[in-house]
């Protein structure tokens, strides 16, 4: 087991390393204002059996959870995803054990609507850039409570109080990534905690197995190249170092912060064709000397969808300040009710068209469509639902020749990065939700079961009555003039007269 | 006004001008507004045509639920952006041809004067709804020309052609199969101008009844229509395999996309589709829906009415089929609009204006009520499923079956004068027709909507 705990600070909060107390198995400080990333890497032999069996059948598995509660990202951990749980998965070739994945996800994360990768996952395009996983799954998930219970039971020894308290501290995490690939043959768990001021007290766990604990306190510097991020501070390997070693390093990074921000909500009334409005603080690209385009990546649970055919007309698109729909997971059924679908939903990447040379707030609108949702009781024919906040970023072309090797804070397989070329820089806009949560709520009209008691009987009765009426009319026709043309009768009457 | 209708040139020029005007207006609106004039389905057809042009299957386009023939027909739309509108021109030309065929049938079978035929054909030719639907690029109008050509061919006793059109129509859109029983039943010795069995007793036992029924034209029609239908389907199945069957035919059996529409079954279908597997013994009500629909449109109406007035019977069948269908949208109304010119001349809806106006008024009113509820749901997000949409769809259904009853009675009554005094038809007064039609004058003008 290897652990890395990184405190990330704004430069003005940087601390004097001499104020850190370092012993042979711990590091502490009275208080520290910083965000924190905790990263734990497990070897296969340290994992519970059920986890091991799923991982053995996987080529690649990335589970990414993001909290609904808005948080401030900090360099270099600036990449974003919509809140909820995302699963990016490539099964091991020839393996048929992928049936175990969904039951395990349910066991670890709680009641999520996942049946099997074949039924519930959507496929990602893998032909263009090889670093994308084969399949994707998403589910809303507001807390990590079930995961915490699972970890406490399965990973922490009963007597290890430090382990239990670290698990319970996950309640404060804003993001959690669980990553595995066959090449590294290790499972990495990393959690991000937004900036707080608190006491630092980290001790090396007293285990017999070989372990390593590294603690860093870093703040960002102005980099020399736009592709790069630069950090300075101190690193300490607990148990090996007696004093923190100063460090300054730069690395090319895919993900960068942006000073712009945005708000997203549904235009009212939503009806059955809601419009998602994106209000963006300004239209200024992050780099002047590169080609930059603004994109939004939407994660749409199955109750809503985008009609790609509607988003093909240039006039319609420009009236909404959209340039193009670049990607949508397929297939997206354009008609079926939500309750007959098994796939989780769909994701889409749209390029927006910001007004030229404007530093004012502007708006783009994404037309969506609702499916029929199941009828319900006691809610006056309404179903409250929500979609996770979209993410927005500028995608800029990096310098020819720049290589984004693996950096210590890198994050790949986010669902949208695979849709861009390998030399792309992402500048992430911060979400500023008005409702205090990173979700866009909406109310969907459904059949009100409190008032639908007569529907079956009533429909049957009315149709039967209507049918009887026509039959009665036809019986009259039959009795008077039979099946024939009616000619004989008329001629007969004539003769009689 | 009468001068206008006495000139085929004026009527057809107006019909063509109307379509040209709408066509160019559509081009203008599409080029200048984010709201498109062109029907969504037209993009489906043309996308499918593009797939076909590139050697793919038209079913690669999601929601393409038509015969590949339609995509083939629209291949020119893939040639250039100017040719993109070719399909609309094709559909509009289909409209005009259908109008011309209506006049041919009215002139020859109903022995109408040109002026009168033009007046009634104008219900189709100058109908703004018909012209709008075809210039927006909806293929429903194409069905109109196929169906009316079928009627024309059969009344001209062009049996093989009629069989081909019937098979083609059913391949195209399924529902024209309801015309098969009425045409077969209608095609008796009387229509064929053959003498009836000489002696009274001869034709009464079952064997000779059957023998009598199976006449040459009936066999020819059956074989030619089946042959057309089967060979088209075989051809398409060979080329496009299972997706052809799935999207063109099976989809209609298994579909569960019951978004709100005019059908009386709509709310019921939403309700029952959302219940996951009820007890296996429970009969699903909606699975019986085809019984009244098919009994009326394919059995009872053809047998009782087809020999009296084939064209009006086809109207009644289509009307019944649409009213009792599990899905009903306003495009389906076009299916029976094409037959109105044949039915209205002898209809009490025209001879008794109050009856006609109430029927039209209620038909529009109940539809408007539904549309208002539909608007509330679709755009304002109000849950109007029950009672609003449900009740208004039942009311609309009620009005439809009431009108259907009137049509049935009219077809029975309307035959007599047509056959006895055809030469007087253009001149007679409508009141007289009614009295004659009503036989011994027992029925008063006041008995609005009571079927006799």
Cα-trace Rg, chain A: 30
Is residue B230 located within the same domain as residue B269? no
Extract long-range pairs of B44-48: CB within 8 Å, 24+ residues apart: B44/A309, B45/B70, B45/B71, B45/B74, B45/B77, B45/B87, B45/B137, B45/B139, B46/B74, B46/B77, B46/B78, B46/B84, B46/B87, B47/A309, B48/B74
Q: Scanning every residue of chain A, which has its alpha carbon at the shortest distance from the alpha carbon of B394?
A: A462
Average pLDDT over residues B328-352: 91
Residue B37 lies in a domain: no
pLDDT band at residue A383 using 50, 70 and 90 as cut-offs: very high
Is residue B243 located within the same domain as residue B361? no
Is residue B377 located within the same domain as residue B247? no
Cis amide leading into B348 (omega within 30): no
Determine which of B36, B318, B389, B401 to mutate to test the interface with A (most A C-beta atoms within 10 Å): B401
- The pLDDT assigned to B438 comes to 38
Partners of residue A276 on adjacent β-strands: A266, A366
How, if at all, do strands A175-181 and A2-9 pair?
Answer: unpaired
How, if at all, do strands A255-266 and A58-66 pair?
Answer: unpaired
Higher-confidence position of A364 and A410: A364
Q: Indicate the residue of B34, B268, B397 with minimum beta-carbon distance to A455.
A: B268
Extract long-range pairs of A110-116: CB within 8 Å, 24+ residues apart: A110/A141, A110/A145, A110/A146, A110/A147, A112/A85, A112/A139, A112/A141, A113/A139, A113/A344, A114/A139, A114/A344, A115/A342
Partners of residue A6 on adjacent β-strands: A37, A216
Task: Give the CA distances from residue A35 to residues A195, A219, B268, B428, in Å, rounded to whole numbers and listed in that order.
Answer: 4, 10, 55, 95
Q: Scanning every residue of chain A, which has its alpha carbon at the shortest distance from the alpha carbon of B399?
A: A466
Determine which of B383, B392, B404 to mutate to test the interface with A (most A C-beta atoms within 10 Å): B383
Is residue A418 within 8 Å of A124, Cβ to Cβ? yes
Residues of B in contact with A339 (CB under 8 A): 273-274, 276
pTM above the 0.90 mark? no
> Min CA distance, A338 vs chain B (Å)?
9
Tell me the pLDDT tens digit for each residue of A197-256: 988 888 877 666 678 889 999 999 888 888 888 999 999 988 888 888 899 988 889 999
Domains and CATH numbers, chain A: 2-249 (no CATH), 256-445 (2.60.40), 458-496 (no CATH)
CB atoms within 10 A of CB B221: 23
B193: left (phi over 0), alpha (psi -120 to 50) or beta: left
- The pLDDT assigned to A97 comes to 59
> Min CA distance, B33 vs chain A (Å)?
7
Residue B73 lies in a domain: no
Mean pLDDT of chain A: 87
Q: How many residues does chain A have?
A: 497
Average pLDDT over residues A371-385: 91
Residues of B in contact with A372 (CB under 8 A): 258-259, 270, 274
Q: Using the beta-carbon criterion (under 8 Å), do B43 and A309 form an inter-chain contact?
A: yes
Is residue B12 within 8 Å of B122, Cβ to Cβ? no
- The pLDDT assigned to A494 comes to 44
Is residue B269 located within the same domain as residue B376? yes
Q: Dig out the tokens for B330 from the structure.
A: 């306003």
Is residue B220 located within the same domain as residue B323? no
Is residue B321 located within the same domain as residue B236? no
Is residue B289 located within the same domain as residue B328? yes
Task: Give the CA distances from residue B138 to residues A238, B40, B63, B258, B337, in Å, rounded to whole numbers and listed in that order.
Answer: 74, 8, 14, 21, 15
Tell me the pLDDT tens digit for each residue of A252-274: 899 999 999 999 999 989 989 99
> Min CA distance, B41 vs chain A (Å)?
11
Average pLDDT over residues A327-334: 85
Q: Is the pLDDT of residue B433 over 90?
A: no
Dihedral of CA atoms A335, A336, A337, A338 in degrees, nearest 10, equals: -110
Residue B13 lies in a domain: no
Q: Is the pLDDT of residue B428 over 50?
A: no
Q: Using the beta-carbon criterion (under 8 Å), do A443 and B267 form an inter-chain contact?
A: no
Residue B310 lies in a domain: yes
- The pLDDT assigned to B24 comes to 95
B444 three-class SS: coil
Residue B92 lies in a domain: no
Mean pLDDT of chain B: 84
pLDDT band at residue B204 using 50, 70 and 90 as cut-offs: low
Average pLDDT over residues B302-327: 92
Residue B348 lies in a domain: yes
Tell me the pLDDT tens digit for each residue of B146-171: 999 999 999 988 999 999 999 999 99
Cis amide leading into A338 (omega within 30): no
Segment among A78-87, A382-391, B202-211 with least mean pLDDT = B202-211
Average pLDDT over residues A322-341: 88
Is residue B270 located within the same domain as residue B401? yes
Which range of A349-353, B6-10, B446-450 scores highest in mean pLDDT? It is A349-353
Is residue B302 located within the same domain as residue B349? yes
Is residue B219 located within the same domain as residue B345? no
Q: Using the beta-carbon criterion (under 8 Å), do A455 and B32 form an inter-chain contact?
A: no
Q: Using the beta-carbon criterion (under 8 Å), do B379 and A269 form an inter-chain contact?
A: yes
Least Cα distance to A207 among A5, A29, A43 occurs for: A43
Q: Using the beta-carbon criterion (under 8 Å), do B300 and A471 form an inter-chain contact?
A: yes
Q: Using the beta-carbon criterion (under 8 Å), do B379 and A271 form an inter-chain contact?
A: yes
Is residue A80 within 8 Å of A264, Cβ to Cβ? no
Residue B133 lies in a domain: no
Q: What are the two backbone dihedrals, phi and then psi, of residue A489, each rounded to the nearest 5 degrees?
A: -65, -45
Q: Indicate the residue of A334, A337, A451 with minimum beta-carbon distance to B273.
A: A337
Residue B201 lies in a domain: no
Question: What is the number of domains present in chain B?
Answer: 2
Range of the domain at B216: 139-192+212-255
- The pLDDT assigned to B416 comes to 46
Q: Indicate the residue of B40, B274, B452 with minimum beta-carbon distance to A476.
A: B452
- The pLDDT assigned to B421 comes to 38
Is residue B247 located within the same domain as residue B380? no
- The pLDDT assigned to B82 comes to 87
Q: Using the beta-carbon criterion (under 8 Å), do A445 and B383 form an inter-chain contact?
A: yes
- The pLDDT assigned to B191 comes to 74
Distance CA A183, CA B355 (A): 82
Is residue B412 located within the same domain as residue B290? yes
DSSP3 helix / strand / coil % (chain B, rounded to 5): 75, 0, 25
Q: Dig out the tokens for A36 from the structure.
A: 């924190």
């Amino acid at each position: 087991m290897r652990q890395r705990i990184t405190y990330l600070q704004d430069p003005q909060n940087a601390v004097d390393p001499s104020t850190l107390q370092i012993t042979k198995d711990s590091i502490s400080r009275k208080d520290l204002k910083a965000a924190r990333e905790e990263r734990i890497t497990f070897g296969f032999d340290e994992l519970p059996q059920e986890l091991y069996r799923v991982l053995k059948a996987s080529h690649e598995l990335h589970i990414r959870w993001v909290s609904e509660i808005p948080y401030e990202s900090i360099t270099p951990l600036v990449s974003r995803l919509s809140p909820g749980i995302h699963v990016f998965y490539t099964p091991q070739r020839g393996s048929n054990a992928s049936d175990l994945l969904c039951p395990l996800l349910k066991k670890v994360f709680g009641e999520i609507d996942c049946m099997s990768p074949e039924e519930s996952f959507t496929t990602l395009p893998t032909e263009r850039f090889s670093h994308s996983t084969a399949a994707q799954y998403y589910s809303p998930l507001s807390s990590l409570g079930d995961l915490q219970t699972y970890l406490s039971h399965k990973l922490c020894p009963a007597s290890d109080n430090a382990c239990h308290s670290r698990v319970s501290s996950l309640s404060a995490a804003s993001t959690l990534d669980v990553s595995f690939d066959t090449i590294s043959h290790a499972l990495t768990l990393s959690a991000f905690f937004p900036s707080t001021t608190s006491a630092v007290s980290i001790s090396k766990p007293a285990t017999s197995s070989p372990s390593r604990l590294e603690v860093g306190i870093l703040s960002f510097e102005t980099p020399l190249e736009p592709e790069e991020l630069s950090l300075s501070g101190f690193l300490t390997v607990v148990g090996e170092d007696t004093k923190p070693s100063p460090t300054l390093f730069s690395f090319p990074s895919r993900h960068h912060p942006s000073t712009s921000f945005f708000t997203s909500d549904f235009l009212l009334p939503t009806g059955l064709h809601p419009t998602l409005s994106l209000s963006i603080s300004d239209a200024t690209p992050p780099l002047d000397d590169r080609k930059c385009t603004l994109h939004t990546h939407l994660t749409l649970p199955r109750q809503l969808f985008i009609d790609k055919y509607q988003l093909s007309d240039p006039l319609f698109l420009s009236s909404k300040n959209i340039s193009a729909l670049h990607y949508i997971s397929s297939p997206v059924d354009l008609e079926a009710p939500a309750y007959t679908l098994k796939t989780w939903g769909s994701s889409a990447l749209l390029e927006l068209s910001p007004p030229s040379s404007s530093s004012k707030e502007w708006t783009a609108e994404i037309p969506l469509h609702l499916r029929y949702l199941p009828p319900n009781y006691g809610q006056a024919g309404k179903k409250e639902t929500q979609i996770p906040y979209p993410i927005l970023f500028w995608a800029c072309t990096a310098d020819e020749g720049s290589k984004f090797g693996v950096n210590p804070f890198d994050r790949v397989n986010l669902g949208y990065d695979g849709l861009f070329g390998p030399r792309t820089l992402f500048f992430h806009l911060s979400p500023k939700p008005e409702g205090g949560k990173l979700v866009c709520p909406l109310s969907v009209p459904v059949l009100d079961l409190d008032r639908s008691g007569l529907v079956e009987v009533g429909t049957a009765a009315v149709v039967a009555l209507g049918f009887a009426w026509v039959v009665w009319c036809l019986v009259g026709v039959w009795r008077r003039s039979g099946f024939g043309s009616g000619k004989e009768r008329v001629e007969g009457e004539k003769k009689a007269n | 006004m009468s001068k206008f209708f006495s000139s085929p040139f004026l009527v057809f020029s107006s019909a063509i001008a109307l379509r040209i005007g709408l066509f160019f207006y559509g081009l203008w609106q599409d080029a200048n507004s984010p709201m498109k004039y062109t029907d969504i389905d037209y993009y489906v057809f043309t996308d499918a045509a593009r797939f076909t042009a590139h050697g793919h299957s038209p079913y690669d386009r999601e929601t393409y639920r038509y015969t590949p023939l339609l995509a083939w027909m629209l291949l020119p739309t893939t040639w250039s952006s100017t040719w993109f509108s070719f399909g609309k021109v094709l559909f509009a030309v289909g409209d005009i041809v259908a109008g011309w065929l209506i006049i041919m049938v009215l002139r020859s079978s109903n022995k109408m004067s040109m002026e009168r035929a033009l007046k009634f054909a104008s219900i189709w030719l100058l109908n703004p709804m018909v012209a709008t639907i075809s210039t927006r690029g909806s293929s429903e109008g194409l069905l109109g020309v196929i169906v009316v050509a079928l009627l024309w061919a059969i009344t001209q006793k062009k049996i093989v052609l009629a069989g081909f059109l019937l098979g083609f129509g059913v391949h195209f859109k399924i529902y024209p199969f309801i015309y098969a029983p009425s045409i077969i039943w209608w095609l008796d010795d009387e229509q064929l101008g053959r003498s009836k069995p000489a002696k009274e007793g001869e034709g009464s036992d079952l064997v000779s009844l059957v023998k009598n029924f199976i006449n040459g034209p009936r066999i020819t029609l059956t074989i030619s229509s089946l042959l057309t239908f089967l060979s088209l389907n075989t051809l398409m199945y060979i080329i496009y395999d299972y997706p052809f069957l799935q999207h063109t035919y099976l989809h209609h059996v298994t579909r569960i996309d019951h978004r709100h529409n005019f059908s009386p079954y709509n709310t019921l279908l939403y309700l029952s589709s959302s219940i996951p597997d009820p007890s296996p013994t429970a009969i699903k009500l909606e699975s019986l829906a085809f019984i009244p629909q098919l009994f009326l449109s394919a059995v009872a109406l053809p047998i009782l009415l087809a020999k009296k007035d084939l064209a009006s019977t086809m109207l009644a069948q289509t009307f019944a089929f649409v009213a009792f269908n599990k899905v009903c949208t306003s495009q389906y109304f076009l299916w029976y609009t094409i037959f109105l010119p044949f039915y209205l001349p002898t209809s009490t809806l025209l001879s008794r204006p109050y009856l006609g106006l109430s029927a039209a008024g209620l038909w529009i009113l109940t539809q408007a009520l539904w549309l208002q509820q539909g608007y509330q749901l679709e755009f304002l997000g109000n849950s109007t499923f029950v009672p609003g949409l449900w009740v208004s769809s039942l009311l609309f259904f009620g009005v439809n079956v009431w009108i259907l009853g009137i049509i049935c009675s009219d077809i029975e009554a309307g035959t007599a004068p047509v056959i006895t005094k055809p030469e007087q038809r253009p001149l007679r007064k409508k009141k007289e027709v009614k009295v004659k039609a009503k036989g011994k004058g027992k029925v008063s003008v006041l008995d609005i909507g009571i079927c006799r």
